[in-house]
Each structure stands twice: as C-alpha cells, then as structure tokens.
Amino acid sequence: MAGSETTAVAAIRRFNRFHTRWVGALGGNLHGSGFALAEARVLYELAQREGCLAVELSRDLDLDPAYLSRILKRFVAQGWLERQRSAADGRALRLRLTPAGELAFRPLEAASRAQAEAILSRLSPAQRDRLVGALADTQALLSGEAAARPRPVIREHQAGDIGWVVSAHGRLYAEEYGWDMTFEALVAEIAAQFLRAFKPGRERCFIAELDGAPVGSSFVVEQDAETAKLRLVLVEKRAQGLGLGKALVGEAVAFARAVGYRRMVLWTNDILHAARAIYQAEGFRLVAEEKHHSFGVDLVGQNWELRL
C-alpha cells in the first residue's frame, strides 16, 4: 500500500474513533437518554416517518433484521410503538410511534440538538461555515453519492454584511497571501466610507449567499459623475468553482451601466490571477501598474478600466 494511501486509511480510522466517542456510540446511554445508539437511531427514524415497514428501517439503517426486531419488540412493550396492517399488503405491518413514543423521543431530540448547539457556540461564523461545508463534503464522499450542486443567490447588502466583508477579506488574504492586518484596516476604511456616504441610486454592494450565509461580495462606488469604481470583490474558498466571482463582477458592471456611468475602474495586484482573469473576460483593460510595498509584502499594483 502506497504511503499516501496508508496515511489516508489512518486518518479515516482516527476520525472513526473520534466520532464514535463524540456521539457516545460506545456506551448504552446516548445523551443520558437510556438508549443505545442503534435504539436512538431507530426511534429517530420512526419519529420522522409517517408509517414505515421494518424492512425499510433495516435497509436504510443497515441493521440486522433480527437485531431490529428485538429493538421494535422493546418499543412495543414500552407502549411506544404500534403496528398496523398495510392497506397495500395485508402481510406487512406499518410502524408508527404512539403518543407515548413521541413523548419518549422528545428528550432525546432535545439533548441531540443541545449537543450540536453547544459545539456551534464555540465556533466563529467562519468556522461554522467551514464545518458545515466539510460535513457536506464528507457525507457526499463517503456515501459515494454526487453532492447536490449548491445554488447561491446574489442580493443587496443587509445589516451585518459589511462587517462580514471586512472580516472575510482580512482572514482570506492573510491565509492565501500572508498579508498583514494593515490590509484589513484598509478594507474597514473602505467599508466604513461606503456606509457613511452611501448613495443608493449610484452605489451598490452585492452579496453572494450560499446555504443562508454570505460567501462573496462586490461593491460599486462613485468616483465621479461619469466613473464608477469596482471594489472589494471576494469569494470564500468553499464557494469557489461556482462562477460566483464572474457573477459578482457581472452584476456590478450591469449596475454601473444601468445607472449611467461612462466607465468603470478598479485597482488590484498582479498576484490575484483568478480575479484578473475575470476582469479581462468582462472587458477590462490594464492601463497602468506600479511596484509597491504594502500589507507587509512586495506587490505590483494594477489599474484596470472598462468603457461602459
């Protein structure tokens, strides 16, 4: 077995050990409910389904039919489960939780939700986004099923969005390019000026949103009566590859044209290759560049322009 494959196997086994311990799979008292993990999963599925067959539960949960039968007998004995003949097949029994069963499920559901909320409370919004994305990727990869392509939306900014723009720029440029906090300070100044002097009919902030969270931005600000400036174009790593950078720039250009600007300008740096490709595809042309030392690194700044 190749070294990289050996490392991957070890990583999967390490995660399995962590996860079984984290969810309490090794004990027989999940979340203090008195249920073993398998019993809790069966109870959860019964609470989510309006009548199901034992064979369906066995298949969907990958449980041995004899083991599942013992769990169901316990639930019947507790008065939590009732069995009714299927209208489609008189030999089959449909399973439904009784009111007592639904009552028994509620503390388990509340404890599971409380555990998840406790974990999320320790994470920043950016870390939560990373966790949600990683969990979705993990589920898709391990199940072998193609993940549903997310559908981002682009909207105008709302209260709280500008703070995210500042934070995301500072974090991503530090991670990707090693820029120091003077860059975040610059973004904060630009964002504050946008809010203080906002001209609704002449300026706009576009926010890309994915799964209810912001993942991208672009700004149109007035430089003069005939010139719009494109600023603060960004796409989070987890949303890259969806065409959001192109869409955000396209929205900004379309807005500038509709408002009546004659040209659009922007300033960027030559190391931002993906952004430069988007600007070129949109019709921007490079008009000037100059070396400078900013944000703790040596850079080549570039001015681009688009006739609208």
pLDDT in tens, 8-53: 778 777 877 777 676 665 556 666 667 777 888 888 888 887 777 8
Note the pLDDT of residue 89.
59
Beta-carbon contacts of 167 under 8 Å, excluding residues fewer than 6 positions away, are 126, 184
* Ordered domains of the chain (ranges, CATH): 3-122 (1.10.10.10), 153-307 (3.40.630.30)
Return the pLDDT at 166: 96
Which pLDDT score, from 0 to 100, does residue 90 have?
A: 56
Query: pTM here?
Result: 0.56
The Cα–Cα gap between 235 and 10 comes to 33
Cα distances from 127 to residues 71, 122, 135, 247, in angstroms, run 38, 9, 12, 25
* Residue carrying the six token digits 């009714």: 84
Please give the chain's pLDDT, 308 residues, in tens. Answer: 555 667 777 877 787 777 767 666 555 666 666 777 788 888 888 888 777 788 888 888 888 888 888 988 988 898 888 887 766 555 667 888 888 888 888 887 888 788 788 878 888 877 877 787 777 777 777 776 655 566 789 999 999 899 999 999 999 999 989 999 999 999 999 999 999 999 999 999 999 998 888 999 999 999 999 999 999 999 998 888 888 999 999 999 999 999 999 999 999 999 999 899 999 999 999 999 999 999 999 999 999 999 99
168: its two tokens: 């995301």
Specify the pLDDT at position 299. 94
The pLDDT assigned to 211 comes to 81
